[in-house]
Amino acid sequence: MSTSRLDQLASAAADELLNTAATGTDTVARRAELDRVRRNRRGVRLTAVAAVMASVLIVLLVEGNFFSNSNPQPMKPLPGIDVGDVPVWYDDAGLHRGNIVEQTPVELRQLDGMAIEDGALALVRNGALYLDPATGDVWFHPWGGDPRIVGQDSTTGPSGNPDGDIAAWFEGGHLVVYDTAADRVIARELPFWKVERAFGSNTCHAMCAEHAQPGNGFLLVSAERVIWNSSPSGEGHGPSNIYDVRTGQVSVADTKSVGRDEAELVDVSDDAAVYSVQDKSLWGWHLVLDIPGRAPQEYAEVNPRSRFSPSGNYLTSVGARAEGSGERVSAAIIDTRTGELWPVPETRYSWSAWSYGDIALVQQEDELLACDAALRTCETLPAEPPFLMPTN
Amino acid sequence: MTHDVAQPSGTSDGPVSSTSEVLDSGRDQPGFPADRSSELFDNFYHRELPRLVALARALAGPGAADDLAQEAMLKAYRHWSKLLTYDRPEAWVRRICANLATSLLRRRAAEARALVRLSARRQSVALSESHDAFWDQVRHLPRRQAQSVALRYLYDMQVLEIAQTLGCSEGSVKVHLSRARQALAAQLVADTEGSA
C-alpha cells in the first residue's frame, strides 16, 4: 500500500471516528467544532502529501540502513530484565539506568525553577515506578518495556523494593501494595482511622530523600510488610506504621528496643533498624544503628536521617565531619556489618540515595556521583540538574 | 509538556450544560470566582469531550472510550486551578487521555466498568470494516507511535503540536510517525493480500 493511500485511509477513518464520537451529542457548538476540524484537514492535505513524500524518502533511508546509522539505538533488553547494579536517576534526558536512557511518558518532576517541588521515583528488581506529579498517576516502567499506569490520585508516590517485585503507594487513605511481576494489586487497604498515611505531596520528596526525611515516608516495602512514617501535621515524623500484608493488620512500630524515650524509626532493613535519638548536642539528635544480636551503635557525627542500601549492608547519611573544617557536610556511608564509617571523599553539601546493589547516589551541588559502597570509589555521572533520585 | 503561563483558554461561547452528573460541582478555583471557574470548565468540557472520546476510541477501542475520556476529564477537573494557568489546557487533557488509553491496566479497568453499565448505555456506533481494521492496527502499534498517529489524524496536528502534547521532541515524533506509517502500510498490505 502506498503512503498516499494510507493517508487517505487514515483521514477517512478519522472522519468516521469523529462522526461516531459526535453521535448522541446534539450541540451546535460540537458540530461546528467538528466541521472546523474537517475543514482544517482538507486544508492540510497538501501538506500531508508532502509529508508522505518525505516518509517515502525516510523509508528509502531506512532500507539503505542510513537511518539507523545516524540514530544509533541501544539494543533493547527483554522487558522487565534484572539490570544489575547500576545507578538510576532521572533528568532532562530521561530515565537513566547506567549508560541506557529510557524515555518516560510523563515528566517526573514538578519544578519550581531548578528546584524539584514534587516527584517520586522508586525501584523494583525489573523496573521503576514513578509518580506523575501533574495527575497523581503512578506508573510502572519495566526496564526495556512499555510503561503503564498502575495507580492513580496518589499524593505520596510509590516506593519499592529494588531486590524484589513489590511496590506500594497511597491512593488517598488507601495503602496499595502491588506486585510488578504478576501485574496485580495484592492488597488495597484502608488503614484504621488512627493510622496516618505517609508523607503527602507537600513534604520533602525524593529529591531530599535521605537528607532531611526518608523519601516519601516509606521505610520498607516487601511481600510481607510495608512500613511507613506518617506525618500527622504535614511536617516531620509521626508514628511509624507496619502493615502486615498477609493478615491485613496495621500496628505501630515499637521503638523501645533502642533504649531511649525519644526515638524515631528512620529506616528498616529486615530485622535491622536505624533510629534518630535525642541528645544534648548542637543538632539535638544523632543516629543509632540497631542490629539484632549486637548492642545499639551510636554515631554522633552524622545526621540521623539515613537509609539502608537494598542489601542492608550499608547505610548512607550526611554529616560526616570534614577533616579540619569542623563542619558536618559530606556524605557518609556506614558498613552495617563492621560499623565502619566512610566519609565520601568530597566535602560539599550532600543529598544521597540508593540505587541497585551497593551503589549510592550522592548529589553535591550540581554534580551527581555514583559511589560503590563496597569498593569505596565514586565516579561522576553524566547527569544534568535538576535530577530526581530514587526514594526507596 | 507545555506549562506556559499565559491567558487561560476555555472562553468559547459554546452552550453550557451541567457536568454535575460526572463531576462534583462548585469547587472554587484560586484566582477565579467559583461560578466563573465552573463555567470555564463547562465550556472546556463540552468543547474537548467529543474528540477526546474519538482519541480514546482510536487508541483503546470502542468499549472503554467513553470511560477513558471521562476519566481524563475528571483529572482535568481535579487539576483545573492549575490548568487555568496553562497556555493550552487542552494539550494537557489530550496527553492524559492518550496515556490512559494506551495503559493496558487502565484500559482493562475501563472496559470492565463499561461492560457493567453496557445495558444502560447507548451502544457504540460501529465503524466500517476497513476503518475499524485501520484503528485496530493503530492499537497494535507501540504506545508512542499509536498516540502520534491518533493525534495526527484526529486532531490534524502537525509534528510540533504532537511533540508539545506528548511532551517529547519533534525529532522523536517524526521517527514515531515514520515508523508507524511503515508498520501500518505493511500490515494493511498483508491484510489485503490475505483477503484476496
Interface touch B178/A59, C-beta < 8 Å: yes
CATH number, position A251: 2.130.10
Residue A221 in any domain: the answer is yes
Quote the number of domains for chain A: 2
Q: Would you give per-residue pLDDT tens digits along chain A (392 residues)? A: 666 788 888 888 888 888 877 654 444 444 444 445 444 544 444 344 444 444 444 443 333 332 233 333 433 334 456 677 899 999 989 999 999 999 998 889 877 666 676 788 999 999 999 998 888 899 999 998 889 999 988 878 899 999 999 999 988 778 899 999 999 999 988 754 444 455 543 334 333 344 443 467 888 999 999 998 876 544 456 678 899 999 888 888 887 777 776 788 888 998 899 988 887 765 567 889 999 889 999 988 777 778 899 999 999 887 755 445 555 557 889 999 999 988 887 666 677 889 999 999 988 778 899 999 999 999 999 998 888 889 87
Question: What are the φ and ψ backbone dihedral angles of B96, each rounded to 5 degrees?
Answer: -60, -45
Same domain, A9 and A150: no
Which among A1, A17, A103 is the nearest to B127, CB-wise? Answer: A17
Interface touch A149/B106, C-beta < 8 Å: yes
Same domain, A217 and A255: yes
Helix (H) or strand (E) holding A101: strand A100-102
All 3 cell numbers of residue A281? 548536642
Domain boundaries, chain B: 38-195
B135 closest CA partner among B45, B193, B65:
B65
For residue B68, give Cα distances in angstroms to A36, A144, B112: 24, 26, 12
Same domain, A14 and A146: no
Tell me the DSSP string of A146-187. --EEEE-S-SS--EE-TTSSEEEEEETTEEEEEETTTTEEEE
Question: What residue numbers bound the domain in which A129 lies?
Answer: 90-380
Residue A85 in any domain: the answer is no
Residue A385 in any domain: the answer is no
All 3 cell numbers of residue A223? 511481600
**Helix, strand, or coil (residue B73):** helix
Work out the minimum CA distance from A31 to partner chain B, whole angstroms. Answer: 9
- The structure's pTM equals 0.62
All 3 cell numbers of residue A115? 528546584
Same domain, A280 and A372: yes
A106 closest CA partner among B176, B20, B100:
B100
Same domain, A43 and A100: no
Residue A392 in any domain: the answer is no
Same domain, A28 and A105: no
Work out the minimum CA distance from B2 to partner chain A, whole angstroms. Answer: 11
Same domain, A303 and A213: yes
B188 to chain A: nearest residue by CA? A1
CB atoms within 10 A of CB A133: 23
Same domain, A309 and A258: yes
Residue A76 in any domain: the answer is no
Interface touch A1/B50, C-beta < 8 Å: no
CATH fold for the domain made of B38-195: Butyryl-CoA Dehydrogenase, subunit A; domain 3 (1.20.140)
Interface touch B154/A17, C-beta < 8 Å: yes
Residue A390 in any domain: the answer is no
Work out the minimum CA distance from B191 to partner chain A, whole angstroms. Answer: 10
Encode burial over A119-131: b for 16+ CB neighbours within 10 A, e otherwise. bbbbbbbbbbbbb
Same domain, A177 and A279: yes
